[in-house]
Amino acid sequence: MRIEIDEKNFELMLELDQIEKRIRLLGIQLNVDFENRTPVFVGVLNGSFIFLADLMKEINIASEVTFVKVSSYKGDKSSGKIKEELGLQMSLKDRDVILVEDIVDSGKTLRYLLDMMYKEKPASINVCTLLMKPKSLKTKFDEICYVGFEIPDDFVVGFGLDYNGLGRNLNDIYRAVSTTEIK
């Protein structure tokens, strides 16, 4: 199945059923790993809100949720400059933090977020991301402990991810295709 968003073509990459199954497994893993602890889930807006909402439905341990918002993308390319739009709204001191990302690409935004959170002196930080592009990653992160799917270096939309603000509402995840591939 192909779709068009803002004159850019996309094809189906991951169906909702696959995504939901993987989120259930991540939830089970987090419940086991954080049993008898009260972690705070920190969602990175705007992209992670759908993933985090579905993930929290699978969490049955005591936990809290808060959000941060940073941006670096313009269209389908990173501007290379990270802008903090909403900072931390609670103290993370001595807390177990689970940073929830929609996608880890180069790691530049993740590095920025981790540096910001380590200043708060948390007990631990673990990263849970729906998507990760291992070939794009510029730095190794020991904090990345929970990964939904490893994907190629394609631009993707849907399930919270957008292109120029559009496509976040799509249930499935789609990858960009070049116009030369379209028949």
Q: Indicate if 105 belongs to the active site.
A: yes
Nearest to 58 by CA among 14, 95, 117, 98: 98
Q: Show the beta-strand stretches assigned E in the chain.
A: 2-5, 8-14, 40-45, 64-74, 77-86, 96-104, 124-132, 144-150, 156-157, 173-176
β-bridge pairing 156-157 and 144-150 = unpaired
Bond into 126 cis (ω within 30): no
In the set 54, 102, 105, 162, the catalytic residue is 105
Catalytic residue numbers? 105
